[in-house]
Amino acid sequence: MKSKCRLGIICLAAGLSLQLAPLDCRAQSSTAVSLPSGAQDVVKLVKAGLNEEVVLAQIKTTGARYNLSVEQIIYLHDQGVTQNEITALMAAAPAAPLTTTVPSTTAPPPAPATPTTPAAPPVTPSAPTPASAATAAPTYAPAPTAPAVPEAPLAPAAPLAVTAQPASLAAFQGELSPYGSWIAVPGCGLCWQPYIAVSDPFWRPYCDQGHWVYTDDGWFWQSDYPWGDVAFHYGRWFYSGRGWVWVPGYDWAPAWVTWRQAEGYIGWAPLPPGAVFRPGLGLYYNGALAVDIDFGLRADRFTFVPYDRFWDHDLHRFLVPRDRVVIFFHRSHVINGYRFVHGRFGVFGIGRERMGVFTHRDVRIEAPVHRWGFERRDFDRGRFSGRDEHRGEPHRWNERRDRHGR
């Protein structure tokens, strides 16, 4: 009798331990795990109730890849991140830039019938006279072998380093299409909207994923986005009912922005489509030369940060709250500092020396990082660009009186 009772107690204890074991495992898996910043953003989007399509678009836009550990994957799953989203975090990578010069390498192969006649080794030039002479110009192999024609791709590979190309709508579409959608906007023509501007209602240009650098051309916005070399140095931005939209333009600048200075704060905003650039003359707005004007922009189009946070690489943490921006806007004054330097348009804002005093920092002239090679033309010899190639008419714009009432 005692042995049976003892056996029952042992079985009961074993059952309880088995029943509690999954609870311990689940408790351990739900403890906080350190995550990369990009993965933390995904968790925030999921917690905010955004659907999987929006989250995947955000992951694709950032283009980051993470080597997640088993603990991190389990933690993400416990936070509600789907399997597709976790896979995207681990597999996402920046899309390769469009290579426009590569197709030229496939053109040179001549007729395949030529290599079948390697009859006379000493007299090589007699066989391939008109066609293969161009491809055999770089004589890498002096040996008299007729099959040297397949080595012709070695010669066209060199021009790949010459990445500069004229800025055009076709070139912009090839570079920007993987990261956003092209939409027709009345009064502006064909425009582009990044996916991040749709998924994040608080996103704005020249504020996220980048920082300011002082260069020979003035204040340069060094963007971390793979599409930043186009959208922040060409064209204009405006806010529509569907978020921020980029209007193509074909002249380069370190940043197409207007600057404002307040006591202890600095602010800036993207230039609207109505700001028309005329090479050799400058910016024009409503038919007049724009020096220190606000381009009709409202207060909520500006970003304000304290002087000592101007250099930060994560400006979002230090932005003046939206409900207080109007206060700083009315206490500030415009100080754009537009001028030409070596034939290029410069945007100097407050200026190097004054910014150094305000921010207590030695402002050095730095060389910006260019990922894509569009031509930066000398504007003194450039074409008049007050007209857009895809529309042919100058912009007519006043944001304070736009159709959306914004």
Torsion, Cα of 42, 48, 52, 55 (10° steps): -40
Q: Which contacts of 160-165 are long-range, i.e. CB under 8 A and separated by 24 or more positions?
A: 160/99, 160/101, 160/102, 162/101, 162/373, 163/372, 163/373, 164/373, 164/374, 164/375, 165/100, 165/373, 165/374, 165/375
Q: Are residues 196 and 328 in the same domain?
A: yes
Report the SS3 class of residue 196.
helix
Is the domain of 220 the same as that of 347?
yes
pLDDT, tens only, 84-105:
888 888 874 443 433 333 333 3
d(CA 53, CA 91): 16
Task: State residue 396 phi and psi, 5-degree precision.
Answer: -120, 110
Range of the domain at 357: 169-401
Residue 252 falls inside a structural domain = yes
* Other CB atoms within 10 Å distance of the CB of residue 342: 10
* CA atoms of 346 and 373, how far apart (whole Å): 19
Burial class (CB in 10 A: 0-12, 13-18, 19+), 79: middle
The reply to whether 58 and 187 lie within a common domain is: no
Place of tokens 């569907």: 242
Among residues 94, 112, 134, the one where a domain terminates is 94
Residue 85 located in a structural domain: yes
What is the model's pLDDT at position 31?
57
Residue 97 backbone phi and psi in degrees, to 5 = -60, 150
State whether 279 and 389 are in the same domain: yes
Question: Looking at residue 255, what is its pLDDT?
Answer: 96
77 & 203 share domain: no
> Of 94, 111, 129, which one is at a domain's C-terminal end?
94
Whether residue 360 is contained in a domain is answered as: yes
324 domain-assigned: yes
Instruction: Specify the pLDDT at position 155.
Output: 37
Do the Cβ atoms of 277 and 227 come closer than 8 Å?
no
Asked whether residue 50 is assigned to any structural domain, the reply reads yes
How crowded is residue 215: how many other Cβ atoms within 10 Å of its Cβ? 17
d(CA 401, CA 23): 61
**End residue of a domain, out of 46, 67, 94:** 94
Residue 108 lies in a domain: no
> Are 220 and 368 in contact, with CB atoms under 8 Å apart?
yes
- Identify whether 243 is part of a domain: yes
CA dist., res. 348 & res. 218, Å (int): 4
Tokens linked to 94: 């920046």
Structural domain count of the chain: 2
pLDDT at 251: 93
CA 288 to chain centre: 32
Let me know if residue 22 belongs to a domain.
no
178, 54: one domain: no
Residue closest to 89 by CA, chosen among 105, 72, 111, 102? 72
From the list 369, 333, 365, the residue with the least C-alpha distance to 350 is: 333
**pTM assigned to the model:** 0.55
For residues 63 and 177, state if they share a domain. no
Give residue for tokens 């159709």: 403
3-state secondary structure of 260: strand
Local mean pLDDT, 10-residue blocks, the chain (406 residues) = 50 45 40 80 80 80 82 86 86 43 40 44 42 39 42 36 65 95 92 95 93 94 95 95 93 95 95 92 90 91 94 88 93 92 87 88 84 48 35 40 37
Q: Which two tokens stand for residue 102?
A: 């590569």
Which tens digit of pLDDT belongs to each residue from 257-293? 999 999 999 999 999 999 999 888 889 999 899 888 9
- CB neighbourhood size of 199 (10 A): 19
H or E segment to which residue 2 belongs: helix 2-29
**Based on the domain organization, do 222 and 344 belong to the same domain?**
yes
Single out the residue of 163, 154, 155 nearest to residue 100, CA to CA. 163
Q: Are residues 194 and 57 part of one domain?
A: no
Query: 182 and 48, same structural domain?
Result: no
* Domain shared by 188 and 325, yes or no: yes
